[in-house]
Amino acid sequence: MIYAASTERSVGLVLLALILVGWVAYIFINIRQAKGEIGAEVELAPNRAPLPSDEEFETTKLERIQAWGVVFLAVIAVTLPVYWLREPGRQAGAIRGFAERSVSRGEREFTEGFQCNACHGPEGVGGSAPAVLELQMGDKTIKVQASYVAPSLNDVFYRFDTGIDKPEDSTEVRNIITFGRAPIMPAWGLAGGGPGNEQQIQDVIDYLWSIQLTPEEMAAKVNDQIAAYESDPANAGKSEGQVLFELNCARCHTPNWNARGSHEQPLGNVVVVEPGQPGAGGYGRPLNSVSLTEQFPDPATQMDFVKKGAVENAPYGTHGVGNYGMPGFGDFLTDEQIMAIVEYERSLEQQPGVTTRAVAEATGSGE
């Protein structure tokens, strides 16, 4: 498939046809004339033909040749700038064609190859994955069949890689896809032990980039989510900060928040998967009054961190070192909303019997 060359190709074909016709005509005429020439070379040989007079040479003939020179010069003078003017368009077309092919390959990976849609829903609207969770009950470990929420991906660039303006520059989403996120989201890149080479991962990223909600759609979605959550009787009386925390942060900062399910045990009792203590940590760090006063003595710096998210290997707070896992929220939550979450988080109690540093180590830096 040759992209964006159709005009050039047709012009080329027309020229080729003209040249072929010209040659055929030339050969035809030549053969006819040659026949008439037999036996008459002496008179008809071009070098024997009488030459024009000096006067004719220096006037009409010379002028005709000069005129043709001017005509050809004019043709070159016009076609070169036209060619030059079209060049950026041609190059842009080539780049766009390249990007479009990558997006459609990425879509195929998303739906058929890697089947991301099985968990993340069609066009990345969000979905769920079946999962077996191991729960600690006293000194026994029991296995529970659960369903695990898989986040929407048609808004993932509102949270991760927020500063970039083209999908090739993605680092955070690329890392998440390449290395996966235990325990449910598998690694997809070769570097993480998955099946996808770098081009396939880039194709998926290009596809995700192409399906992102518009800012208006995103704002509407955030508002609808809040309204729906608040109107649920189960959430009556929750503060704005708590509602926003549960909608945006709990999935990584509260144990088992994303896991839903129940399992009947051999003796008939049913074990239900329930979220752990709010902010006790999961994939993300524990967040509570003690840890946060230590990390961010000034709540304004915490708000700043939550707005931008962590940056890989960049220091934050008093002793934090960022990784690609903590999203930024400043692109779709207002400062007031983020401050409400910050206040809620700073009111949470530390899990009994566990000190901040020990928990931070136990959950690592989120990997």
The least distance separating ligand HEC from the CB of residue 2, rounded to whole angstroms, comes to 30
Asked, as a colleague might, if the bond just before 183 is cis with ω within 30 of 0, I would say yes
Q: Is 15 exposed, middle or buried (0-12, 13-18, 19+ CB in 10 A)?
A: exposed
Pick between residue 5 and residue 229 the one whose CB is nearest to ligand HEC.
229
Phi, psi of 171 (to 5 degrees): -120, -45
Direct distance between the N- and C-terminal alpha carbons of the chain, in angstroms, rounded to an integer: 43
Residue with token string 């192409």: 210
Place of tokens 């390249």: 98
Output 101 or 108, the one with its CB closest to ligand HEC. Answer: 108
Q: How far apart are CA 297 and CA 318, in angstroms?
A: 8
The whole-angstrom separation of Cα 252 and Cα 326 is 9
Q: How far is the CB of 154 from ligand HEC (least distance, A)?
A: 11
Closest to ligand HEC by CB, 52 or 195: 195
Q: How far is the CB of 357 from ligand HEC (least distance, A)?
A: 10
For 136, the enclosing helix (H) or strand (E) is strand 127-137
Instruction: Select 52 or 364, whichever has its Cβ closest to ligand HEC.
Output: 364
Q: How far is CA 18 from CA 22, 23, 26, 213, in A?
A: 6, 9, 12, 51
At its nearest, how many Å lie between ligand HEC and the CB of residue 97?
Answer: 23
Of 89 and 183, the one with the shorter C-beta distance to ligand HEC is 183
Smallest separation (angstroms) from ligand HEC to the CB of 144: 16
Residue 110 is classified by DSSP as: I
Nearer to ligand HEC, 93 or 347 (CB): 347
Task: Return the number of the residue (173 or 222) whose C-beta is nearest ligand HEC.
Answer: 173
Going by C-alpha positions, the residue among 141, 364, 144 that lies closest to residue 260 is: 144
| Minimum separation from the CB atom of position 116 to ligand HEC (A) | 3
Both tokens of 180, joined, read 């996966």
Q: Rule CB under 6 A: which residues touch ligand HEC?
A: 114-116, 118-120, 129, 148, 150-151, 153, 156, 159, 173, 176-177, 181, 184-185, 188, 204, 248-249, 251-253, 258, 283-285, 287, 291, 295, 302, 305-306, 310, 317, 320, 322-323, 325-327, 329, 341, 345, 365-366
Cis peptide before 195 (omega within 30 of 0): no
| Residue in the block written with tokens 């909303």 | 337
Q: How far is the CB of 364 from ligand HEC (least distance, A)?
A: 9
